[in-house]
Structure 1
Amino acid sequence: MNFASDNTGGASPEIMAALQAANAGHMSSYGADPIMAEVQARIREIFEAPEAAVYLVATGTAANVLSCAILTQPWGAIFCHRNAHIEEDECGAPEFYTGGAKLVLVEGAHAKMAPEALDKVIRFTGRSGVHNVQRGMVSITNATENGTVYSAAEVAALCAVAKGHGLPVHMDGARFTNALVAAGCTPAEMTWKAGVDVLSFGGTKNGCMGVEAVVIFDPKRAWEFELRRKRGGHLFSKHRFLSAQMLAYLTDDLWLKNARHANAMAARLSAGVVAAGAELTHPTEANAVFAGWPRAGHAQAMGQGAYYYFWPFDQTLEGPGEAMLTARLVCGWNTSEAEVDQFLGAIAARG
């Protein structure tokens, strides 16, 4: 019963088989391998973007911060939600890789920016000229850190605000596929057709061993990305092992199947905890459930081997059993119905 994160599960068998196959013989290095050419063609096809530049890195942090670095200057502002992943979980990497760009935070319910809130913050930025950071770029996390999803229309509305101020837009899509299948739109509709300039297209959280794609819809930005990736230490020499993962991920719709399964398990889990008396703290829209229930139920579940995080972290099992504690539970490609049902039985049990 492990719901700690979609990072805790293993890699899909198809990914491991592809890595084993790629291990045979010799291939050109640094992205010149023939598998990478297939990856580029497939991503361009999926996103209906024949001119897009496509690059691979091993971590979501690298994908996000290198993307931000080609979209803003060191004196620029990166507008994002207060609970955006680049704000909460990147240890200052956006500031480091951009050479000093400042994260300027936007409020909004359930970790989603509203267009009017974004517009207000952008208008307030740079008001004193040279004394302030300047308007730089917008970054959207989809799915969000609270498990909610921006629809294609909501992405387009935020991009319209950004473009109205002449700003480029990055999408942090570590869980892009979970958001995509939840929203029921095409990859193009969620990204460049809505106004997104650069996408961090996640694979690691959805069944890969460790690979993320950066999809740059304006190829004029590609050379700078290549230089920054090399300078930042994120150009793999044995690149074929990144390429092999991504190609297997995109073959036979594995990426979509994995995300649909994870989302379905989260929906099952969400309905079950509500039926057991829990209260959702955020809507369940992708593969994460945020809910609160009495401490006694948490103690019962953890005592039976359930593993998940209190959310926020500063809560403990010590104290009155009837006190409400809130938690985050994340489902992955390999979460089973039996695992979900075992957990639901554990929190509903009474000692």
Structure 2
Amino acid sequence: MFFASDNTSGAAPEVMASVVAANEGYATPYGNDPIMDRVRARIREVFEAPEAAVYLVATGTAANALSLAILTQPWGAVFCHRNSHVEEDECGAPEFYTGGAKLVLIDGEHAKMTPEGLRRALKFTARAGVHNVQRGMLTLTNATENGTVYSPAEVKQLSGIAKGYDLPVHMDGARFANALVSAGCSPAEMTWKAGVDVLSFGGSKNGCMGVEAVVIFDPAKAWEFELRRKRGGHLFSKHRYLSAQMDAYLADGLWLDLAARANRAAAALSAGIRQIPGARLVHPTEANAVFAAWPRGGHRKAIEAGAKYYFWPFDQSLDGPDEEPLSARLVCSWSTTEEDVERFLALIRD
């Protein structure tokens, strides 16, 4: 019953086997290994983008921060949701790697930016010329930090607003596979066909050991990314171990299968919680994360039985009346089982 995060699960067996296989013999370093050639070709095929530049890094923070750095200047504004990952979970890395670009926070229910909010922020920014930060770029987190999903139509609408100001668009896809499975669309429809210029394509939260791809749909920015990746300390020497993970991840649609498993588990968990008296969903369950509230007594039983998850917000206590609801975040992974879900529901229901 480990629902703390999808990055707490182990790596998928196929990924582990690929890394072990890649360990045999010798391979050219720094991304020049033959496995990376397959990865690059496969991502271009999957995204219907034959000219895309593809790079691997080991962390989502590196993927996001380096991507933002090639899309905006130090005096630029990075328009993002108030609860976006780059705002809440990157410890200032976007500002550091961009050389000081300012995150401009936009509201919207369930961590989804609204077109009206983006328009207001764009109009307000740079109103005094040289005295202000300038309009820089847009970044969208999909799936969001509240477990919701931007549809391709929503991405296209927001991207269109940004493009009206000649701004590039980045998508933080740490849980891109989960969003894609939920939306039922193609990778191209969710990204470049909807106006996305650069994608952080996650693997670590969905069955990989630790690898993220940066997909740059306009290869004109590729060389700058290579320089920033090296300068920032994120160019792996023994790159084949990153390549091997992504190679297995993409093979035979494994990445989509793993995400579908996680989404199904979250849907079952969400449906079960909704049946509990005094319980409710805090946000819609659209991917692999469930945000819900239920009585404190159920929390106490689950935690005493070994369940792992986070109160959301964190500053809540098990001390107090049993019937008072406390809210929490529960994240399912590719390895979450039906038994995990059923046992947890039984504990918080009884």
TM-score, normalised with respect to structure 1: 0.99
> What is the deviation of 1:67?
0.1
Deviation at 1:304, TM superposition (A): 1.0
Post-superposition CA distance 1:54-91 (Å, at most 9, x none): 00000000000000000000000000000000000000
How far off its partner does 1:252 sit? 1.1
Post-superposition shift, 1:194?
Answer: 0.3
The residue that corresponds to 2:39 in the other structure is 39
More displaced stretch, 97-106 vs 114-123: 114-123
| Partner SS, residue 284 of structure 1 | coil
Distance of 2:275 and 2:296 partners within structure 1 = 17
Return the offset for 1:303.
1.0
Q: 1:290 and 1:8 mapped to 2: Cα distance? A: 18
Where does residue 67 of structure 2 map in the other structure?
Answer: 67
Please state whether the residue corresponding to 1:286 is helix, strand or coil: coil
Report the alpha carbon displacement of residue 108 of structure 1 after superposing the two structures with TM: 0.2
Give the match's secondary structure for 1:137.
strand
1:234-287: CA deviations, max 9, x gaps?
000000000000000000111000000100000000000111131000000000
Aligned AA for 1:224?
A: E
Q: How many residues align?
A: 349
> What SS class does the counterpart of residue 291 from structure 2 fall into?
strand
2:338 equivalent in structure 1? 337
1:306 aligns with 2:307: yes
Corresponding residue for 1:225? Answer: 225
Cα shift at 1:324? 1.2
The residue type equivalent to 1:314 in the other structure is D
What is the distance in 1 between the residues matched to 2:90 and 2:316?
Answer: 23
Q: In structure 1, how many angstroms separate the alpha carbons of the residues matched to 2:319 and 2:342?
A: 26
Secondary structure of residue in 1 paired with 2:201: strand
Structure 1 residue runs of 4+, over 3 Å off?
A: none
Which secondary structure state, in structure 2, belongs to the residue aligned with residue 263 of structure 1? helix
Matching residue of 1:109: 109
Instruction: Describe how 1:17-28 pairs up with structure 2 within 5 A.
Output: 17-28=17-28
- Local SS of the residue matching 1:171: strand
Shift of 1:225: 0.1
- What letter is aligned with 1:12? A
Q: How does 1:151-190 map to 2 (within 5 A)?
A: 151-190=151-190
Question: Alignment partner of 2:42: what SS?
Answer: helix
Give matches, 1:278-289, under 5 Å.
Answer: 278-289=279-290
Say whether residues 1:142 and 2:142 are aligned partners.
Answer: yes
Q: Counterpart of 1:238?
A: 238
Q: CA deviation at 1:316?
A: 1.2
Q: Kindly state the Cα deviation for residue 315 of structure 1 after the two structures are TM-superposed.
A: 0.5
| Paired AA for residue 319 in structure 1 | G
Task: Tell me by how many angstroms 1:162 deviates.
Answer: 0.4
2:197 is aligned to 197
TM-score (norm 2): 0.99
User: Match for residue 270 of structure 2?
Assistant: 270
| Residue number in structure 2 paired with 1:119 | 119
SS of aligned partner of 1:220: helix
Specify the code of the residue in structure 1 equivalent to 2:328. Answer: A
**Corresponding letter in the other structure for 1:182:** S
User: Using the alignment, how far apart are the partners of 1:94 and 1:345 within structure 2?
Assistant: 42
Distance 1:295 1:131 in 2: 51
Matched, 1:209 2:198: no
Equivalence for 2:57: 57
Instruction: Show CA shifts across 1:288-333 (max 9, x none).
Output: 0000011111001111111100000001101111111000000000
SS at structure 1 position matched to 2:150: coil
Question: Percent same amino acid among aligned pairs?
Answer: 73
**Which amino acid is the alignment partner of residue 179 of structure 2?**
A
Confirm whether residue 130 of structure 1 aligns to residue 125 of structure 2.
no
Deviation, 1:117, is 1.0
Q: What is the letter of the counterpart of residue 286 of structure 1?
A: A
Structure 1 residue 116: Cα displacement: 1.6
5 Å matches for 1:252-263?
A: 252-263=252-263
Task: Measure the CA separation in 1 of the matches of 2:81 and 2:229.
Answer: 25
State the SS of the aligned residue for 2:78.
strand
AA partner of residue 323 (structure 1): E
